[in-house]
Amino acid sequence: MSVLIVGSIAFDTIITPFDNRKRLLGGACIYGSLACSLFCKPFIIGVVGKDFKDSHFNFLRKKGIDTSGIVKVNGKTFFWKGRYNYDMKTRQSLKTDLNVFENFNPEISNKHKNLPFLFLANIDPELQLKILNSMNNLKFSICDTMDYWIKNSKKNLMKVLKKVNCVVLNDEEIREFSGSFDLIKGAKFIQKIGPEYVIIKKGEYGASIFGPDFYFSIPSYPVENVIDPTGAGDTFGGAFIGYIAKHNKINKKIIKNAIAYANTIASFTVEDFGINKLSKITILDIKKRINKLKQIVIF
Amino acid sequence: MSVLIVGSIAFDTIITPFDNRKRLLGGACIYGSLACSLFCKPFIIGVVGKDFKDSHFNFLRKKGIDTSGIVKVNGKTFFWKGRYNYDMKTRQSLKTDLNVFENFNPEISNKHKNLPFLFLANIDPELQLKILNSMNNLKFSICDTMDYWIKNSKKNLMKVLKKVNCVVLNDEEIREFSGSFDLIKGAKFIQKIGPEYVIIKKGEYGASIFGPDFYFSIPSYPVENVIDPTGAGDTFGGAFIGYIAKHNKINKKIIKNAIAYANTIASFTVEDFGINKLSKITILDIKKRINKLKQIVIF
């Protein structure tokens, strides 16, 4: 089964207290589709500038990613430069040049409209809504968002939430959106708006999901050397939908395993800069960690 | 099997954004021994003032707690007044009157010296060390501490860590003590000093333990209505040692279950002010939540 992934494609300059890298291939769409490609075929919709090379396209295609929805236009690709603090969690954005991403408003082709699975990465909810309204055969859709949209586009975000099956948020986003400091109350509040599934990403603490009739929570796979946390959340989203699409079934067992796999695959992403490690791992590497994770939580 | 618990006995005035209570019976020793009493007989060592009534002693004795190690002296019992923020996690101390607790330096009786299990709640490491050095038949000992001692009594705390089997810390304490932002590196650093077991309390995110040959991590039992988080950590410590003492065995299975039970019992504590809920629950209530928790983490 195939997955449509819509979001940013970027070059990231990343500074940590220990090291730095310049102009790495990044953006939610890239992390998401690489993670998804471990399970099934992702179709990207995104926009890039003239600085996006054939080698980048070739790299993605070799990973089995359909890049026909990437539009190349005059201008530069979205560029982000950020510095992580010593906690390797909080960060400052030093530069955010939206460039060609500023006017991102893709036409959805017929090929894309008929895909059964959809991951809407963190983009303007208005755009998320447009894409959702274009889809003809959706089986399962998931959206990400951020504090900026919760504060400034809540109306449109509400409309998105009425349409998607699942939303992925972190603690602060749930609190911001629901107005409740209690995460459980907050998640239930959001479920009532629409999505049957509300995922709470907790970073180093793992992830939880509120389903229609169950609650599942899992600690993160223990990573001793966090090199660069960029893209962990997008990896999570892409792996989650990829796992579901591969099994082409939605039930408690599949959803729980999708969370466990998504969580585990994100643990690889943070072990090197950018997509370095994510683009090298195999299903065998992942299964080894999954088996360890099962041992970690069983009692 | 019996457990010696040494720590503060206090009256707490607790203010939350939603409600407040005045002069509730509290302190690490009280929360710890009530939690421990669900599994086996706790022996308290502590100090109180003239405002500590017979009714308080009777309440503890009815719970099967040996209070012969509570010394009543001239003066007032330790008093703490604090206000929780809207997150129901962070707080400000509005008043801390150590009173009789300021000169707490107990003599350890022969009866207490021979007890096989020991929970050293958060007190001056010098005192923790004195107690550890008095014990004749220790099978398993656990200590708690706080940022103040890590900053101001690190030498003595190091000596304590060389002697105990287990230390329980939160994220910030591990980072403060080890100088590493990475919790796994921090926990391993502390293990090398002495304790085979390092527990990381993560509050609403659950708890993890680093054992000599295993790692175990568990999310918290989901609590929708946190009324008062006071004493959750002390509940955890007391329940943990109580579970181990009851089974009188130390192995991976027992330790994992002790963490799960400790975590779960703390989930009751936060559902009402002070010890209100903790002092009313039964093993049956706990087992129900343990079974739910097993379902929550399995995948």
Encode pLDDT of B32-53 as tens digits.
999 999 999 999 999 999 999 9
Encode pLDDT of B231-278 as tens digits.
999 999 999 999 999 999 999 999 999 999 999 999 999 999 999 999
CA dihedral for A282, A283, A287, A289, sign (positive or negative): positive
**Residue B60's closest CA among B281, B275, B273, B234?**
B275
CA–CA distance, A3 with A29 (Å, rounded to integer): 12
Q: Flag if A299 and B294 touch (Cβ within 8 Å).
A: yes
Question: What mean pLDDT value characterizes chain B?
Answer: 97
The rounded radius of gyration (Å) of the Cα atoms in chain B is 18
A23 shares contact with chain B (CB less than 8 Å): no
Q: What single letter denotes the amino acid at residue A47? A: V
Residues of B in contact with A86 (CB under 8 A): 181
Are B215 and B205 within 8 A, CB to CB?
no
pTM for the model stands at: 0.94
Which residue out of B91, B205, B261 would a mutagenesis test of the A interface target, given it has the greatest number of A Cβ atoms within 10 Å? B205
Question: What mean pLDDT value characterizes chain A?
Answer: 97
Question: Which tokens is A122 given?
Answer: 């963190």
The four Cα atoms B224, B228, B229, B231 give a dihedral, to 10 degrees, of -130
Q: Using CB atoms within 10 A of its CB, is residue A58 exposed (0-12), middle (13-18) or buried (19+)?
A: exposed
Question: Which tokens is A280 given?
Answer: 């090298």
- For A218, the closest of B184, B222, B297 (CB atoms) is B297
ipTM, 2 dp:
0.92
CA–CA distance, A286 with A268 (Å, rounded to integer): 9
Please state the domain extents for chain B. Answer: 2-297
First to last CA, chain B: 35
Question: What beta strand segments (E) does B78-175 contain?
Answer: 78-84, 91-97, 117-120, 140-144, 166-170
Please check the confidence at residue A32 and state whether its pLDDT lies above 90: yes
What kind and span of H or E run contains B5?
Answer: strand B2-6
B2-297 CATH fold: UDP-N-acetylmuramoyl-L-alanine:D-glutamate ligase (3.40.1190)
Lowest mean per-residue pLDDT among A124-133, A257-266, B180-189, B285-294: B180-189
Whole-number pLDDT of residue A103: 94
Q: Where are the alpha helices (DSSP H) in chain A?
A: 28-36, 54-62, 110-113, 125-134, 147-152, 154-163, 171-178, 183-193, 232-247, 252-269, 283-297
Please check the confidence at residue B197 and state whether its pLDDT lies above 90: yes
Question: Which tokens is A15 given?
Answer: 């500074």
Which residue out of A205, A220, A226, A255 would a mutagenesis test of the B interface target, given it has the greatest number of B Cβ atoms within 10 Å? A205
Whole-number pLDDT of residue B181: 87
- Tell me the residues of chain A between 236 and 255 that have a Cβ less than 8 Å away from chain B: 253
Q: What single letter denotes the amino acid at residue A113? A: K
